[in-house]
Amino acid sequence: MKLSEIKGKKAISTLAALMEPLEKIISDGEIKAAIERKDTIPAIAKKLLENRPDEVITVLALLDGEDPKSYEVNLLTLPKKLMEVINDPDVVTLFFSESQTEA
């Protein structure tokens, strides 16, 4: 699900729940460096999965409107769902813009 598709009170609760896992992802030095270097999407995805697998699952679950504790993906669905999030321009703008990461 794209960020723009989450509306109303659900948007507020989803954004609040996303903050902690996304903060961990954004503050990961290797992931941040890969984004700043403008590495390829597969290279960034690999770093995400290697460095922050729990946070990736949490983000995917929340964006799908599911409980992260019981959320499951498989080898076929994980790449598709991860690419949907990474390629969503709203995610990049909201969480990875330079003004957000520099403080």
3-state secondary structure of 54: helix
C-beta of residue 25 within 8 angstroms of C-beta of residue 98: no
| 81 in any annotated domain | yes
Per-residue pLDDT tens over the stretch 32-64: 999 889 899 889 999 999 999 999 999 999 988
Per-residue pLDDT at 68: 94
- Residue 3 falls within a domain, yes or no? no
1 inside domain: no
Residue 77 inside a domain? The answer is: yes
Instruction: Indicate whether 42 belongs to any domain.
Output: yes
Residue 63 and residue 85 in contact, taking contact as beta carbons nearer than 8 Å: yes
Domain count, the chain: 1
pTM of the model: 0.81
- Cα–Cα distance for residue pair 6/62, rounded to 1 Å: 10
Residue 18 lies in a domain: yes
Provide the residue range defining the domain that includes 88: 8-101
